[in-house]
Structures are given as C-alpha cells and as structure tokens.
Structure 1
Amino acid sequence: MIKLTVMYPNSPNTQFDKDYYINQHSNLLKDLLGEAIISSDINLGLSGASPEQTAPYVVIANLVFTSQEAFQNSFVPMAEKILADLPNFTNTQPVVQISEVV
C-alpha cells in the first residue's frame, strides 16, 4: 500500500479554513479520485510535544492507495484541479510525502 501524506505547516501567518477543507476539499478529492482511495484521515494539529508548544502542522491528511501505480493513475490526471483548490482554504504550501505502508 502507498500513503500520500499532505502536511500544512503552521506559522503565525498561516491561514487555514478547516471547515472548507473538511467539507469541500475532502469531498473534491473523493469525487476526483474515487475508489482509488482505499482509506483516508484528516488530523487537526492541537499542539507540539507539550501543550504549550504550537503544533508544527495545522493539518495533516493521509490518503491510502493500493499501489504507487493506482496513486499515479488517479492523482496525476487530476492534480491541476486539486492544486487549484488550495487557495480556497489556505495560504501555505503543503509538504507532501509518499510512503510505503508496511
């Protein structure tokens, strides 16, 4: 399995509309990528290692695919539409990592 992890860095200037992300952007991903996504989750940052520390990421999202090929075949053709939606909910650039789930 392959996991696409998208992390949105937190900073004093970060703007992030969590409601839009949860209710609009995540549905856009489901509509565009469909059954290629076998599971997903959204993690809202609360704090760093201690409650006094700011969370390093405002949101971390994971999308799981059966394989690298399934990810490429579904995501790449829709990447432009997906990326065009980012300004609707954030002013920060996400950090992306693709991992093998073992």
Structure 2
Amino acid sequence: MKYKLVYSIFIFSLVGLSSCSTHQLIHISEPDNKLFKVSILYANGEGKTFDMNYYKSNHMPMVSRYLGDNLKFYEIDKGISGRSPDTQVPYLAVGYFYIKDITAYQQAIGQHIETIVGDFKNYTNIQPVIQISEITEIGFNNEN
C-alpha cells in the first residue's frame, strides 16, 4: 500500500509539473479520468476530542485496505485555526479518500461498516459528517 501511495503522489506530481509548464488546468471529469473525493469532517466543539496519532496510524490505513484498488490515495488534515490565527478551528480533522468508483466505495464501506464505526471510540467522540464530491478540475499556481 505504501508503494501505491508513493506511486500515486509521483504521478500526480508529474501531472502537476506538466500542467505548470503548459499553464493549463487539468480537466479530470473526462470519462477515463473521473475521480471522486470522500471528505470525512470532524467538527470541533465543547468537549470534543480527537486522537490524531491513532487516526493516522490505525483508522485511515484500516479503511484504505478495505477500499483496495478503488482508492487512488488518501489525505489527512489537522485543523490548526479558523479564518484567522486567533479563532477556534471549525474542524479538528478532515480525512479524504480519493476514489475511482462511488459504487465500489459504498460496497466496501458497507461490508465493513460495523468495524469502521466501532473503531471511532478509539480516536474520537465526534460523529463525522461525510461528503462525496466529484473532482472536476485541478488547477495550479503558475506564478511560482
């Protein structure tokens, strides 16, 4: 799995570099390039807790194994502030799965839902909000 993640990052880097050199956007909503993003948002609030180390080391790798070849890669964001440095962070963490097929994702999650939800207690007391999005375009800052 680690090899696949490194390979995916390498491919996305190459695509990014070629896009930057041509000053073009990458349109990934074409049939062969469809990519979907599953966002898992853990809202902050009074009494909310989140163990980032467990999430990174155990939970996300476990779920990524369930997703198999459908998973291109995943990301984890750790919230550090709100709009300005002195405001409370709205989300303690956000996890992202980048997948090729929504139906395959839903089947994989459905087969393991009890294990996935049962693992929440090991890292958080937050009920996450899930959003599935279609990625339609990736842009790069050509100024740098």
* Unaligned stretches of 5+ residues in structure 1: none
Percent identical pairs in the alignment equals 32
Q: Distance in 2 between matches of 1:34 and 1:78?
A: 13
Residue pairs, 1:6-45, within 5 angstroms:
6-45=40-79
Higher relative helix content:
2
Kindly state the Cα deviation for residue 54 of structure 1 after the two structures are TM-superposed.
Answer: 0.9
Which 4+ stretches in 1 moved above 3 angstroms?
none
Q: Distance in 1 between matches of 2:107 and 2:43?
A: 27
Q: Distance in 2 between matches of 1:16 and 1:53?
A: 18
Q: Which residue of 2 aligns with 1:57?
A: 91
**TM-score, normalised by the number of residues in structure 1:** 0.92
Higher RCO by CA contacts (8 Å cutoff, separation 6 or greater): 1
**TM-score, normalised by the number of residues in structure 2:** 0.67
Q: Distance in 2 between matches of 1:3 and 1:79?
A: 19
Residue number among 39, 49, 59 corresponding to 1:5 in the alignment: 39
Q: Distance in 1 between matches of 2:51 and 2:38?
A: 21
Kindly state the Cα deviation for residue 72 of structure 1 after the two structures are TM-superposed.
Answer: 1.9
* Unaligned stretches of 5+ residues in structure 2: 1-34, 137-144
Q: Distance in 2 between matches of 1:24 and 1:82?
A: 11
Residue pairs, 1:47-86, within 5 angstroms:
47-86=81-120
> Which entry has the higher C-alpha Rg, 1 or 2?
2
8 Å CA contact retained: 1:8, 1:95: yes
Please provide the CA RMSD for this pair: 1.1
Count of matched residue positions in the alignment of Structure 1 and Structure 2: 102
Kindly state the Cα deviation for residue 30 of structure 1 after the two structures are TM-superposed.
Answer: 2.2
